[in-house]
A and B are shown apart, each in its own frame.
Chain A
């Protein structure tokens, strides 16, 4: 059967078109129920008589049809493994897809989980359930009607199926179909059509076996607030907004809440350099950080300047109606800000008139203890200061009180001070290592759930052996003296090296990379999972693998003494490290030894070692030095960033010791050859696949990025030339101070901060000149050497394998578009993995300093208006030492006495107090301690020890009492300082 669907559409030019499309109606769409006796079923039954659920509302067995609004609002309820036998209508699925792609994705995951018994019924193409749009009927009404029609059809269809005699004899009660909808109109119409109907809340509350599910219901309204007076101005309707935006009456931008002041925010709008400032609760008008909003600009007379004050919201309780007093207080704050703002500091100020798109997500945080016992209503405090508190209803408050939980926002009505949300799940007890790691992973969007059964099904069968065919296809390199050099404790070894003398006096150097692409075949679930994860994430004491452990730590890892598959890149080089020729092939290798950097270094240095491995290492080391020199001469930069390692307790996973990472010759040896391999492979695949090669580039930073570096160096009497990478590299080398050995490193740390992010890209998307890698001074670069922990390397392996005929190509590999999407994802994942790693280091630093106070030597990295930025090389730690107490004592400083005045000299960036002057790069001694007054935001506090300033520095005597004598002789120095004063 066939029908025509007609609708009109407006084109970009504004013409109104009549579009006619065919719409086929079928009689071969099955209902998916195992009770059915009529339908032709080509699928496994999804709707079964098993998994019956006890509801006090519907006592008979039933299937559930969901309305669109239920899916959109109650996705958290649906994700719980409670509801089974659900009929998903294609009408609903399409509506969900249009309204929210993230919910659509989550919903699809539920549907794909076969154990949940969700059946997609294509009602739109079924001959009995298709609803033609009637004249003057809105699309929404038609969809509602289609949903009711399908529900009704299902119900009668099943009743007919169950009316046979044999069924009656079996004594089962009849299965019915119920509709869950939160739309009152739809509900009343359904009732008049004799459809069993309930609202989602009613239904969930009627489930006796799952009382806690109620917590996850989306809260659209709270009882006691229905009559409360509005606290916010209304939002404009979408139509008014779009009209206003088009007429430029309103401006559109993304809202950023201020971290310091909960009554302030900023909207980034095009053509406004600093964005538009928003002050006060009414102006913010229920926007949450990240939302796309429409702002109305205030007249210039009402413009204001961002206030310098830190304003943290005081605790309020769920049933509190905000008092007049507080409203006045807020008014005063606003007025004060307005008055304080000098005319020249005023920036465009506006107010939010409507929300274009909400960007609500799930938030981590803790529950605020409630004053009243036995209440269900609670206030949730998010970890992110930019997010407002959220009201939720939960019955498990006592249990959740000391846990980190996840909450999502449902709505923010005008008459509620805070948004309404609901509890999603608990992460675990506060302060627990596993919980805190989970928070880091969630906040950085790192996929970290266990690998699914489907993914694991694509792993090779154990015990895995190498077959004769494998040997036939690969070059046998098992006899070579190959070894790997890695950090201690490394189990995912993806590279190994060898070097041997050739009869003609030249050397043969080989880099052997784990052949991950042999095990991960394109397009299967394992491949897709790895592509989505993009990279392995390293937290302190924890690794979140990109590929399952069987591969990462066993089959792919090039462990010593075991035969493994590798992708080899082999060069013939002369004694001066000039590459004469190169070749790539897949191989079988047997690493002779897996070494740590330290072991390798010892072996090289020990002249008694005369084994093949030692010889090979010495040769490699020599070649690497030549390569490195050549690279430096080309203008490659040596950058530094403070990196640290934690010694983690194996039981409690708490950090025991912190040390800065050490660099040895062998580190740089391995690095040099990996760079060489990456560059060689990049040249090869870019030549073979001019359109779709996966490469990596590092754009040259704009000159303005270097300003802070150039200035800081100039104060110290050094000139940094940023003309080119080469000149920069040379001038950095010259920045050496005899009295300050750490000075050069600090300059390099500053340089690192000027750099841009290196990114993956597809060769076809850019001009050849833009392939340049600035940091390495290489004209072309890619990642080839770590396929176990980076997906980009797997792609490069596949391209390389295809180009040498070792593997076949496949559609996606050569498609530019899909590769570009892949690269974007990889770039995002890499960035997030980096941030997560840093967050983990910060967390562990805090744990390390818990209950400790330590004095450490550090250096002033920057001098700021009210603070010094201090770097502590020992821990690679950076922190702020506040000199002015404008932070309201919040940073663990006792209020600094007013007679201590620091004067900031903007000319040469110094801070002066009496005789003590702080320059950039000056050495200082600071005391570190942890401020844990705020459970969610623990932070390290820096207090000055040396140079001593009376009334500001920490008293040294106290330190001696504690017995933690620092390395410098304290008493003498302080006396000296006092004398100076």
Chain B
């Protein structure tokens, strides 16, 4: 039944009133906690995520013994019990969380300048406070901000965005929870938008290969837009903390 649901009305509006290419409302803030080395809070519509970064520090635990010289990126993804309409019983460690954790590590390792941090470890903790679609994408965006706040060197912004395809074959950007459960396909792209590289790509449900290119392009366009927003937020943050140390004029 759900699959029959039309995601885009004939008047060109989506279920929540957006047009196909529009992102949800984005709010973000860096440096929300004192304890971790870097932290960020990110809101994309009703999906709300907190991220904290510890490190780089000496590798600990079983990672310590590992022979490799590479930086170890340790991620944890969890969803608050109150994040969904029905209370979640297992906030972390379930299959979905494990999967997302792997995906986060994969995407972040593409962005972090690993050669600068041999034999060290970076911990990234992400907590989804409210889940309303595109949880992974928002988590990754928050993690990026937290890494920047922690002062870890990145090749460039790594941002993620989702895209879907309506029944009339019009691609949709940044899909919400309603659209996700309505049964359309969901494509998640994590990209380095400046160099136009894709770090990670995942999709649920099938659609015809003819549309793949346009859907990826839509997601990439979304990534670029998010990157601009994040960049502006980072600048503002720097201005803010810099003004105390009189850096503001330098920027």
Contact = CB atoms under 8 A, between A and B. Distances in A.
| A and B are interacting partners | yes
Interface of A: 2, 4, 11, 15, 17-26, 90, 120, 122, 124-125, 809-812, 814-815, 817
B210 interface: yes
A458 B206 CA distance: 29
Interface string B2-26: 0100000111010011100000110
B178 interface: yes
B180 to A, nearest CB: 12
A25 B25 CA distance: 12
A125 B85 contact: no
Interface of B: 3, 9-11, 13, 16-18, 24-25, 45-46, 85-86, 132, 169, 176, 178, 206-208, 210-211
A2 B24 CA distance: 10
Contacts of B169: 811
Query: Which of B16, B17, B46, B207 has the most A CB atoms < 10 Å from its CB?
Result: B17
A21 B17 contact: no
B11 A120 contact: yes
A74 to B, nearest CB: 22
Contacts of B86: 11, 15, 17
Nearest to B47: A22
B10 A120 contact: yes
B208 A18 contact: no
15 contacts: A2-B25, A19-B85, A21-B16, A22-B25, A22-B45, A22-B46, A24-B16, A90-B9, A122-B11, A122-B13, A124-B17, A125-B13, A810-B208, A811-B207, A814-B208
Nearest to B15: A21
Contacts of B46: 4, 20-22
Contacts of A11: 86
A478 to B, nearest CB: 34
Q: Which of A22, A810, A812 has the most CB of B within 10 A?
A: A22
A6 to B, nearest CB: 11
A127 B132 CA distance: 23
Contacts of B132: 20, 22
Contacts of A21: 16, 46, 176, 178
Contacts of B206: 815
B18 A24 contact: yes
A25 B132 CA distance: 19
Contacts of A120: 10-11
A122 B16 CA distance: 12
B43 to A, nearest CB: 11
A812 to B, nearest CB: 8
Given A15-B86, A809-B208, A811-B207, A22 B11 contact: no
Contact of A26 (B17, B25, B208): B17
Most chain B CB atoms below 10 A, which of A4, A17, A24 = A24
Given A26-B13, A811-B208, 5 more contacts: A17-B86, A18-B85, A22-B46, A125-B17, A815-B206
Nearest to A24: B17
A17 B86 CA distance: 7
Contacts of A22: 16, 24-25, 45-46, 132, 176
Given A18-B85, A120-B10, A23 B208 contact: no
B80 to A, nearest CB: 15
Contact of B17 (A4, A18, A25): A25
Nearest to A25: B17
Given A122-B9, A122-B11, A23 B17 contact: yes
A17 B85 contact: yes
A811 B211 contact: yes
Nearest to B176: A22
Nearest to A130: B17
A90 B11 contact: yes
Contacts of A814: 208
A120 B13 CA distance: 12
Contacts of A20: 46, 85, 132
